[in-house]
Amino acid sequence: MEGPFVIVGGDAAGMSAASKAKRDDPDRDVVVFEKGEWVSYAACGLPYYVKGDVETLDDLVQVTPEAFVEERGIDLRTNHEVTAVDRAERTVTVTGPDGEFEQAYGDLLLATGAQAVVPPFDGIDLDGVFTLHNMNEAAEIRRYLGLDTPTANLPEMGYGAAAAEYAEAEGPESVAVIGGGYVGIEMAEAFAAHGLDVHLFEMLPHTLQPFGTEAAGVVEDHLREQGVELHLDTAVDGMVGDNHVEAIAAGDLTIPVDLALVGVGVAPNTELAEAAGIELGPTGAIATDEYGRTNDEQVFAAGDNAEMTHVVTGGPDHVPLALTANRAGRAIGATVAGEPTPVGEIAGTAAVKAFDLEVARTGIVDEEAAREAGFDPVSVTITARSRAHYYPGDEEIQVTLLGDRDSGRVLGASMVGREGVAKRIDTVATALYARMTAHQLSYLDLAYAPPFSPVWDPVLTAGKVLDGKLSS
């Protein structure tokens, strides 16, 4: 297509697309507009920055803006916000430090990501109430905790001075984490590492909803062992306080806290697309075809704002995760450069560290979701060992495996344990792509050595048990 390849959003999907397109078709102009100052950063690392495992925010930056411009030849403009798309004229309207202008495009990629959902809680604007929205907010949390933020190019932020004053004067001793998903669990660990009393609020009966109740049960026992006060099945009404948060109100409960972190999920940023007449799919994210195209052939969408095809259901799904964004961006970059490349399918594979536990999932874990997708789900949960039973450091692993009674196919799995979980889920994820039955899964030749696995890997044992249940 004539005209430059224009990309809205400079994170995983956007910069992957830009880099691939420029590499494959160096003569074409590639222009990226990023409304913030950070590009290509690892948002998944923010909890570990707050915790202190990652020293500086700069460590989370994979490629600097300078490198994109100078080494990769990409016309990257930070602090530039795209406010409108004119599909008829093939232009976008951009607001930058020097005012507003129009930019023509040949192909357009909307890589606008997602944003933290902020429920309309009472007192949401009090000092000391945070989301983990971006790099700056992570730094702000550390300041509020009275911790240093040794980062070269960290900008001055809003309420930094007041926060620092508060931190110095009193210093938070307790925190409410609202939401028991990835971010909530990871931030509970981060806060606990700084000695804070942690209250974790979850509206649903269990934390880590996508991982299923079996895994969640093990995680919750572990969180309690680690001193986290769990408030499950508990809807938060709001934050109480004068200037800064002093308590959380939830029904009859009022829990005094000095800090609140809201991590109740993310929502795709679709406003720009919707205003331009780009269609959304059933999940509320932007509908795309196998090449990441929207209903406009010249407009692509990728990353946390876009739907992908689920490998088990064959239908659209919205699972905003980093690999999906990177890969779809890269594929679109190749397509735009002249080599049509499908963005691939997703299995919703995910892992999370919860204090000393590894938790992982892939495919469909929830029986109700499986039924909705037309399957007749059968589920087994087993416990096995991470190493040979006689080898030191051996730990228990719990595996839940879901299969379809009609076809015998494996539909998904969750796992939890102190070691050997996060990458073991990949075996099941791979089996999902191959549409393997439980029987086939149980007959895989997986690695065995006493320090790393029992003779029958936990995945094989789960496959064997599920196969037995499916054929009974």
Residues engaged in binding a second copy (CB under 8 A): 12, 42, 44-45, 48, 53-54, 59-60, 62, 311, 321-324, 326-327, 344-353, 358, 360, 362, 388-392, 420, 422-427, 429-431, 433-434, 436, 440, 443-453, 455-457, 459-460
Q: Smallest distance from the beta carbon of 446 to a second copy, in angstroms? A: 5
**Which among 1, 44, 104, 204 is annotated as catalytic?**
44
Joined together, the tokens standing for residue 313 give 């259901």
Q: Please report the sign of the dihedral spanned by the C-alpha atoms of residue 282, residue 276, residue 289, residue 430.
A: negative
3-state DSSP of 369-392: HHHHCCCCEEEEEEEEECCCCCCC
**Contacts of residue 301, Cβ cutoff 8 Å, sequence gap at least 6:** 109, 110, 111, 273, 278, 286, 288, 292, 294
Q: Kindly tell me which of 93 and 430 has the beta carbon lying closer to a second copy.
A: 430
Give the phi and the psi of residue 370 in degrees, each rounded to 5.
-65, -45
Residue pair 444/464 in contact by the 8 Å Cβ criterion? no
Residue 468 C-beta: closest distance to a second copy, Å: 11
Residue number, 75 or 358, with CB nearest to a second copy: 358
Concerning whether 203 is annotated as a catalytic residue, the answer is no
Question: Residue 360 Cβ, how far from a second copy at the closest point, in Å?
Answer: 5
For residue 436, give the nearest of 362, 344, 341 by alpha carbon.
362
Q: Which is nearer to a second copy, 57 or 108 (CB)?
A: 57
Min dist. Cβ of residue 301 to a second copy (A): 18
The residue count of the chain comes to 472
Q: How far is the CB of 434 from a second copy (least distance, A)?
A: 3
Closest approach of Cβ 299 to a second copy, in Å? 23
Minimum CB distance to a second copy, residue 41 (Å): 10
330 contacts 20 by C-beta, under 8 angstroms: yes
Residues acting as catalytic residues: 44
